[in-house]
Amino acid sequence: MRTSVGLVLILLLVGLPLAELYAFGLAGQAIGLGWTVLLTIATAVIGVSIVRLQGRDLVLRIRAAADRGEPLIGDVLEGLLLALSGVCLFLPGLLTDAVGFVLLIPGLRRLLIAWGVGSMVNAMIVRTETGAGPDPRGHDPRFHDPRFHGRPHGHGSDDIIDLEPDAVRYGDDDSGRNGDRR
């Protein structure tokens, strides 16, 4: 299902502040106005401090991975989520603070990255295998097109061999870099 960017912006610019005010009012009724203001300030200070510590560690990890020649995309994406956490914690509000603190959990950030990358890869596979993806209503034409025989992947032919990446060997050194394909 696709949403327009304008609708998302309106929800963020209007809906989020209204939700924050509502949450602030509820917290104020439950624990008092002074404690609510103190909680909001404390979460911002503590959260931004934690973001700085985790950010420094992440930068060191990225530098070490770059020195070893390893891919950086996972760490860079984790850095983006950490930056988003910092923004959420810096903004005044209990809901954004909650989102910010959730994004401070490294394992959850990695899980979100894996889910997001997996979703993008699946979307690319749909578009490259069929030339189209789900329509704006979320209906996938591959399930209704007789060429695909109700199968979600492939073009309905039986001469496609689907292998796992570890089932393919390249050369004798198992590194896959010598170009000798067997």
66 contacts: CB under 8 Å, gap ≥ 6? 72
In a domain, 178, yes or no: no
pLDDT at 125: 66
Asked if residue 17 is part of any domain, the answer here is: no
Is residue 179 in a domain?
no
Could you tell me if 52 and 87 are in contact, meaning their C-beta atoms sit under 8 angstroms apart? Answer: no
Residue 82: its H or E element: helix 73-90
Let me know if residue 39 belongs to a domain: yes
Within a domain: 22: no
Lookup: tokens for 137: 């209503």
Please give the model's pTM, rounded to 2 decimal places: 0.61
| Residue at 4 is within a domain | no
- The residue to which tokens 């198992």 are assigned: 174
Q: What is the pLDDT along the chain (182 residues), one digit of tens a residue?
A: 456 888 888 888 899 999 999 999 999 999 999 999 999 999 989 998 999 999 999 999 999 999 999 888 888 999 999 999 999 998 889 999 999 999 999 999 989 988 888 777 776 665 555 555 555 555 555 555 555 444 554 444 455 666 666 665 555 544 444 444 44
State the total domains in the chain: 1
Separation between Cα atoms, residue 3 and residue 20, nearest integer Å:
23
89 within some domain = yes
In this structure, is residue 164 part of a structural domain?
Answer: no
